[in-house]
Amino acid sequence: ILQAWGRLEEAMALHKKEEAVCLQLGLQSDLAHSWWNQGHVFNAQRNPAAAREKWRAALEIFTKLNMPRERDAVRAELDRLGKSAASGS
């Protein structure tokens, strides 16, 4: 909701708290979802390098946990990001 309202810093702050909890409790799939969402916030902030880093980390976990729907969605985001960078947009 915060991201949809354009309140990206607040959205990221909540994702960082979520990330810390997931790391502390060892919740791998939730951690990957957090990183996936962080990637969307970074992308909205026009920070493709940070988005790529988070999405690659999420992709690694989704692949390891055999979560094909999530894995494929993250791959699609990475592909779109790569195409944007190649076209200069």
Neighbours of 58 (CB within 10 A): 27
Q: Which of 6, 4, 3, 5 is nearest to 14 (CA)?
A: 3
pLDDT reported for residue 24: 98
Over residues 3-12, the mean pLDDT reads 95
pLDDT reported for residue 89: 54
Q: What is the pLDDT of residues 39-68, one digit of tens each?
A: 999 999 999 999 999 999 999 999 999 999
